[in-house]
């Protein structure tokens, strides 16, 4: 068992030095798990004044006194000092410990052990101290291993969330990063997801405890400051040589007790976090990632609908009683912020401030997505709000400097509005549809409900039958365009987009009617189909849409 910087009384009794003295526990055998921080030997009656607490006191009993009152006072003073246990070697002074001494030890909860054989106190001291030092070294090694993993995660491209998850997994408890004034930046649970409660629920409880009591952290918590220099983005602290608290790590004993090695690991992780947080606006990105994780967990069903409102409130989202509108923006790979998601989140949030409805915005850098949840007053607002949000999202992307010539524009997908029970499916539908919509003709935003065919084809993208269907339907046309001019695929796409209306097709392609008729005839000849047949038109439309998802 690990203890607060030492070993237990039980472990000390198992070491060869004390074991050779045939130890007998005569009082408080149920408290042998107390921590031994140090060993002291002495015979002075006032020896308690020389102790600091946590000691294993070795004595032959010369200073215990001969009268019952002296013995009770001796034991009481040791207990007040908080020593771990009292070990008395039987011999010339005592052949058996007095009943008064034993009862006094029991009354104050002090473990009392008598040794039936003589031992060398110096050997016992050396043994116990060696065990304590070895224990400290083992703890340091474990803490350093966590530090190494955290550093490797950052060097490998991971961010603060990954560091916090490593720490949460090591402690088997949720870990929080908060600002210096107590605002939540990020909540991490164990990688296995075996936490006893959702981290955001735990945080809400912690905040309630802090509101009820001003002094000190909750029992069993570990708080570690993450140092900084001056205010974020300033050099004032550096110029004056004074440090400050940039953030704070909070470890809570939810699933299992917190041990000394956990504090050591947290202190080393705090050093890693301090370096990362020195970069401008890292706190903003971290908070945006935390909101993105919440929205993703909600989409994937890891958060129940009945728990979601309270957790969203912790993150600052307080919609009214109206429906909720899930929206997802997906960035093309070439538009990825490359680590500067804080700038994107800030720019988008500033643009969204003019939309006029409650907004919860997160970022998901790995998937290149920006999920949002908006609070509407009524279902009838959906289209108007979607228009304003899509405009704000694109303006935010532009402000963040992510527009590039030739790059695919961001895809914005709007799901159906509904209550908390429908939000999970809505967010998931929008996220999947945003991926499936890559490469479609550009629109300000897409209605997720109208892209179900594209979503279905995207889900079948790895199935060999889909590629075979595309090849059967339009393979000869694709082969023609690889070797001949003019290409005919754009003609077929435009013709189908206009539902077979030849005049509109000719105008969009800037062709005279006869040229268009000749091209359509050539397409029919290559494919061996009749472009006026509804079933043929349906098959060709599906094949063209499926082609985006096949090699």
Indicate which CATH number applies to the domain containing 233: 3.30.450
User: 269 or 217, which is more confident?
Assistant: 269
What is the rounded average pLDDT for all residues in the chain? 83
Are residue 259 and residue 308 in the same domain, yes or no?
no
List C-alpha distances in Å: 454 to 227, 367, 433, 436, 549: 50, 19, 8, 6, 9
Structure tokens at 434: 């945003």
| pLDDT, tens digit, 9 for 90 and up, residues 76-132 | 999 999 999 999 999 888 889 999 999 999 999 999 999 999 999 988 998 888 888
Range of the domain at 222: 157-279
Q: Judge whether 285 lies within some domain.
A: no
| pLDDT, tens digit, 9 for 90 and up, residues 289-300 | 888 889 999 999
| pLDDT, tens digit, 9 for 90 and up, residues 133-178 | 777 777 778 888 888 888 887 777 667 888 888 888 888 888 888 8
Average pLDDT of span 244-270: 84
Q: How many residues does the chain have?
A: 551
DSSP string, 367-408: TTEEEEEEE-SSGGGHHHHHHHHHHHHHHHHHHTT---TTPP
The answer to whether 2 and 142 are in contact (CB under 8 A) is: no
Are residue 319 and residue 447 in the same domain, yes or no?
yes
The predicted structure's pLDDT at residue 50: 87
Q: Would you call 23 helix, strand, or coil by DSSP?
A: strand
Q: Is the pLDDT reported for residue 45 higher than 80? A: yes
Are residue 358 and residue 449 in the same domain, yes or no?
yes
CATH classification at residue 431: 3.30.70
Q: Is the pLDDT reported for residue 238 higher than 60? A: no
Q: How far, in Å, CA of 17 to CA of 489, rounded? A: 90
Are residue 447 and residue 472 in the same domain, yes or no?
no
Q: Judge whether 537 lies within some domain.
A: yes
Residue ranges of alpha helices (H) inside 404-451 are 420-436
Are residue 455 and residue 469 in the same domain, yes or no?
no
The predicted structure's pLDDT at residue 182: 79
| pLDDT, tens digit, 9 for 90 and up, residues 170-204 | 888 888 888 887 788 888 887 655 545 566 777 67
Instruction: Count how many domains the chain has.
Output: 4
Query: What Rg value do the Cα atoms of the chain yield, rounded?
Result: 35
The predicted structure's pLDDT at residue 130: 83
Nearest Cα to Cα of residue 222 among 182, 257, 194, 183 = 257
DSSP secondary structure code for residue 44 in this structure: -
Q: Judge whether 380 lies within some domain.
A: yes
CATH classification at residue 498: 1.10.10.2840
Q: What are the strands of the beta sheet with 446-447, ordered from one edge?
A: 359-361, 369-375, 324-330, 411-414, 446-447
Contacts of 7 (CB under 8 A, 6+ apart): 35, 36, 128, 131, 132, 135
Contacts of 322 (CB under 8 A, 6+ apart): 375, 376, 377, 378
The predicted structure's pLDDT at residue 428: 92
Q: Judge whether 207 lies within some domain.
A: yes
Are residue 441 and residue 310 in the same domain, yes or no?
yes
Are residue 445 and residue 338 in the same domain, yes or no?
yes
The predicted structure's pLDDT at residue 112: 95
The predicted structure's pLDDT at residue 210: 57
| pLDDT, tens digit, 9 for 90 and up, residues 76-88 | 999 999 999 999 9
CATH classification at residue 65: 3.40.1390.20
* 94 burial via Cβ count (<10 Å: 0-12, 13-18, 19+): middle
Q: How far, in Å, CA of 42 to CA of 55, rounded? A: 12
Alpha carbons within 13 A on the beta-carbon side of 405: 0
Judging by DSSP bridges, how do beta strands 369-375 and 55-59 pair with one another?
A: unpaired
| pLDDT, tens digit, 9 for 90 and up, residues 426-461 | 999 898 888 877 767 678 898 888 877 777 777 777
Average pLDDT of span 522-549: 87
The answer to whether 31 and 113 are in contact (CB under 8 A) is: no
Average pLDDT of span 537-550: 84
pLDDT tier for residue 366 given thresholds of 50, 70 and 90 = confident
| pLDDT, tens digit, 9 for 90 and up, residues 273-319 | 887 776 645 677 778 888 888 999 999 988 888 989 988 888 889 89
The predicted structure's pLDDT at residue 231: 42
The distance from CA 158 to its chain's CA centroid, rounded to whole angstroms, is: 12
The predicted structure's pLDDT at residue 235: 37
For tokens 């919440």, the residue is 294
Are residue 453 and residue 490 in the same domain, yes or no?
no
Q: Judge whether 58 lies within some domain.
A: yes
The predicted structure's pLDDT at residue 197: 56
Are residue 321 and residue 422 in the same domain, yes or no?
yes
The predicted structure's pLDDT at residue 157: 63
Torsion region of 193: left, alpha or beta (phi above 0 gives left; psi -120 to 50 gives alpha) = left
| pLDDT, tens digit, 9 for 90 and up, residues 454-466 | 777 777 778 888 8
Q: Is the pLDDT reported for residue 324 higher than 90? A: yes
pLDDT tier for residue 2 given thresholds of 50, 70 and 90 = very low
What is the percent of the chain where pLDDT is above 90? 28
The predicted structure's pLDDT at residue 372: 93
Average pLDDT of span 479-505: 90
pLDDT tier for residue 338 given thresholds of 50, 70 and 90 = low
The predicted structure's pLDDT at residue 109: 94
Q: Judge whether 83 lies within some domain.
A: yes
Are residue 446 and residue 479 in the same domain, yes or no?
no
Are residue 63 and residue 88 in the same domain, yes or no?
yes
Are residue 190 and residue 267 in the same domain, yes or no?
yes
Nearest Cα to Cα of residue 528 among 540, 538, 517 = 540
Average pLDDT of span 230-257: 61
């Amino acid at each position: 068992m690990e203890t607060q910087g030492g070993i237990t009384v039980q472990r000390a009794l198992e070491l060869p030095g004390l074991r050779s003295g045939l130890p007998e526990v005569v009082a408080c055998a149920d408290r042998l798990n107390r921590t031994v921080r140090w060993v002291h030997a002495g015979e002075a009656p006032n020896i308690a004044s020389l102790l600091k607490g946590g000691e294993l006191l070795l004595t032959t009993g010369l200073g215990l006194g001969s009268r019952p009152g002296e013995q009770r006072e001796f034991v009481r003073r040791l207990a007040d000092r908080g020593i771990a246990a009292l070990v008395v070697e039987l011999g010339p002074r005592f052949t058996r410990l007095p009943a008064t001494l034993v009862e006094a030890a029991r009354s104050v909860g002090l473990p009392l052990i008598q040794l039936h054989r003589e031992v060398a106190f110096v050997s016992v001291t050396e043994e116990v101290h060696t065990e304590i030092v070895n224990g400290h070294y083992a703890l340091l090694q474990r803490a350093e291993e966590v530090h190494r993993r955290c550093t490797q995660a950052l060097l490998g491209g991971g961010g603060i969330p990954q560091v916090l998850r490593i720490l949460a997994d090591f402690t088997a408890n949720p870990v929080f990063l908060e600002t210096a004034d107590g605002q939540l930046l990020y909540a991490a649970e164990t990688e296995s997801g075996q936490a006893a409660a959702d981290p955001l629920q735990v945080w809400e409880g912690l905040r309630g405890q802090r509101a009820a009591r001003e002094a000190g952290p909750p029992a069993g918590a570990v708080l570690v400051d993450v140092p900084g220099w001056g205010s974020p983005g300033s050099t004032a602290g550096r110029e004056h040589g004074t440090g400050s608290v940039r953030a704070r790590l909070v470890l809570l004993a939810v699933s299992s007790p917190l041990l000394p090695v956990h504090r050591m690991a947290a202190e080393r992780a705090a050093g890693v976090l301090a370096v990362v947080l020195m970069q401008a606006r890292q706190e903003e990105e971290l908070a945006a990632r935390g909101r993105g994780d919440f929205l993703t967990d909600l989409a994937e069903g890891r958060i129940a609908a009945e728990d979601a409102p309270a957790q969203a409130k912790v993150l600052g989202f307080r919609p009214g009683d109206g429906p909720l509108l899930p929206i997802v923006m997906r960035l093309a790979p070439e538009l990825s912020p490359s680590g500067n998601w804080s700038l994107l989140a800030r720019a988008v949030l500033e643009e969204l401030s003019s939309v006029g409805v409650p907004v919860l915005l997160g970022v998901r850098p790995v998937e290149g997505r920006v999920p949002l949840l908006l609070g509407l007053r009524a279902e009838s607002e959906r289209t108007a709000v979607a228009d304003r949000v899509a405009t704000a999202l694109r303006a935010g992307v532009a402000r963040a400097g992510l527009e590039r010539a030739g790059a695919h524009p961001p895809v914005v997908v709007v799901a159906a509005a509904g209550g908390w029970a429908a939000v999970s499916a809505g967010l998931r539908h929008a996220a999947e549809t945003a991926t499936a919509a890559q490469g479609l003709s550009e629109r300000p935003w897409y209605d997720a409900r109208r892209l179900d065919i594209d979503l279905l084809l995207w889900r079948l993208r790895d199935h060999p039958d889909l590629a075979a269907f595309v090849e059967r339907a339009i393979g000869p046309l694709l082969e023609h365009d690889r070797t001949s001019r003019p290409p005919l695929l754009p003609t077929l796409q435009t013709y189908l987009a206009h539902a077979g209306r030849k005049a509109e097709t000719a105008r969009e392609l800037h062709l005279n009617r006869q040229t268009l008729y000749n091209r359509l005839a050539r397409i029919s000849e290559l494919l061996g189909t009749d472009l006026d047949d509804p079933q043929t038109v349906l098959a060709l439309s599906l094949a063209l849409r499926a082609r985006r998802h096949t090699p």
